[in-house]
Amino acid sequence: MIFKKHFCHLLICIVLVSCSEKKESIGDTQKPQDFENLVSFKLDSILRIPIDQYTPYRTYNSQYVQEEGGSKELLLWSNRAINAIEIYDLNLGKLEKRLKVKKEGPEGIGGKLTGFQYISKDSLLVTNNKRYEFYLVNSKGNAYQKYSTFPDKSEKEISVPVVYDYRPIMYAKPVVYIVAKPDKDYNKKGWWSGDLLLELNLESKKYKYELPGPQKFDEKVHGAFFSHHSMLYNGEEIIVSFPIHSDILLFNPKRNNVQWKYAGSKYFSVIPSWENPAAGKSEKFYIESNSYREILYDKWNKLYYRLAYRKVEYLDKNNRRVNWDYKIPSIIILNEQFEKVGEYDLPENTYYTRNTFITPAGLFISINHDENKKANENFLSFQLFKPTFDSL
């Protein structure tokens, strides 16, 4: 009896461990899973920011910042056309400052501004078009510290840092985390095996490339447009949204451990690979395939938002070629435990979803889509989506 009791206890432990491991491993079926529709959005006001002839009506690296104890709210974005960071006062409704970043000279950044991260009112981390160089600049736009992050040439796999709206520089004092892309042929198997993250210490200047992509992804080819993985940092973990999979990856850089959580759309499951890759055809394949992209964190409501995109035809009814902004979006809503609690449909050809930011008021998404009649090139225009918990 004692042996049977211990044997049964051991068997239960094995089953529990195996179930736990299966839950944390990357999914195989990717089938849409049932969920309780507990959270949604309601449309609120439209924020319109007047701009001059020097500012494009679509911005890059939009960042919301609270200064001076939270009483002052700022929206920052990079104006690549004039190598500047624009600082807009949300409370007063006007441009507070245009911070022009020097390109050349001893206080320059050595090239064109491509991205930035707010560090403090007197310091911003910026990067240039050379990609491996980062600089701290002061409130006058003068660089005072340089960081070079070139990979070790002895490494077989080389990755390149990239900074976009859905790939922000992630600040965790004194460290920043930066999305990286393997520098390999997109149209061949094995692209995902390179490192996907750069970790840079702003105090010691030490850096390393880490977080190799899942080996499982290397079995297939999806092309260049499917290389757009998105990341965010929630204060403890880095969350990765891969464009080709329903699961998201949770990476704890201090513990160096990885978990997988289901975060798929109700509209599609497996995203087929590209059977016959061909040069110049990647965009067509991407547009005519389902996909995922942005992952966002609403720290005030403790919610995660993941953007899913349904496929459309590469040529529209007028035989015009469309771009990836014409895919049909929905917002997958996850709670703090990464449980799916909603999926909100966005209308077609209305929102420019590559341009978003989050404040205590809610989620702001640009309405400056090519087909949106409400779009106006004289304004940065954002629709406010307020999360609703009526079903709770």
pLDDT in single tens digits along all 392 residues of the chain: 544 444 445 444 444 444 433 334 555 556 788 888 999 999 999 999 999 999 988 888 899 999 877 789 999 999 988 999 999 999 998 999 999 999 999 999 999 999 999 999 899 999 999 989 999 999 999 999 999 999 886 667 789 999 976 689 999 999 999 999 999 999 999 999 889 999 999 999 999 999 999 988 988 999 999 998 999 999 999 999 999 999 999 999 999 999 999 999 999 989 999 999 999 999 999 999 999 999 999 999 999 999 999 999 999 989 999 999 999 999 999 999 999 999 999 999 999 999 999 999 999 999 999 999 999 999 999 999 999 997 54
What are residue 9's phi and psi, to 5 degrees?
-60, -40
Residue carrying structure tokens 């709206």: 165
Q: Residue type at 182?
A: P
The runs of H, that is alpha helices, within 44-199 are none
155 token code pair:
């490494």
User: What is the C-alpha to C-alpha distance for residues 210 and 203, in angstroms, rounded to an integer?
Assistant: 19
User: What is the C-alpha to C-alpha distance for residues 294 and 308, in angstroms, rounded to an integer?
Assistant: 8
Our CA angle for 241, 226, 125, nearest 5°, is 60
pLDDT tens digits, residue range 303-333? Answer: 999 999 999 999 998 999 999 999 999 999 9
Strand partners for 247: 262
212 token code pair:
């190799």
Closest by Cα among 190, 236, 232 to 213: 190
The answer to whether the peptide bond before residue 56 is cis (omega within 30 degrees of 0) is no
Conformational region of residue 8, where left means phi above 0, alpha means psi within -120 to 50, and beta covers everything else = alpha
What distance lies between CA 96 and its chain's CA centroid? 27
Please give the order of strands across the beta sheet that includes 84-89.
Answer: 60-67, 72-79, 84-89, 94-100
Residue carrying structure tokens 């796999």: 157
Q: Report the DSSP pairing between strands 352-359 and 362-366.
A: antiparallel
Whole-prediction pTM value?
0.90
The runs of H, that is alpha helices, within the chain are 2-24, 282-287
Q: In whole angstroms, how far apart are CA 208 and each of 29, 173, 266, 279, 290?
A: 34, 16, 37, 32, 33
Long-range contacts of 322-327, Cβ-Cβ distance < 8 Å, separation of 24 or more: 322/287, 323/283, 323/287, 324/225, 324/283, 324/286, 324/287, 325/349, 325/352, 325/353, 325/354, 325/369, 325/370, 326/287, 326/371, 327/287, 327/291
User: What is the C-alpha to C-alpha distance for residues 258 and 159, in angstroms, rounded to an integer?
Assistant: 20
**Residues with Cβ < 8 Å from 67, sequence gap 6 or more?**
73, 74, 121
Eight-state DSSP code of residue 69:
G
Closest by Cα among 353, 274, 275 to 309: 353
- What pLDDT does 164 receive? 75
Q: Residue type at 230?
A: S
Contact 196, 242 (CB under 8 A): no
pLDDT tens digits, residue range 197-253? Answer: 999 999 999 999 999 999 889 889 999 999 989 999 999 999 999 999 999 999 999
116 token code pair:
């930035």
302 token code pair:
């403790």
Contact 200, 207 (CB under 8 A): yes
What distance lies between CA 370 and its chain's CA centroid? 22
Residue carrying structure tokens 């340089």: 146
Helix (H, G, I), strand (E, B) or coil at 141: coil
Strand partners for 129: none
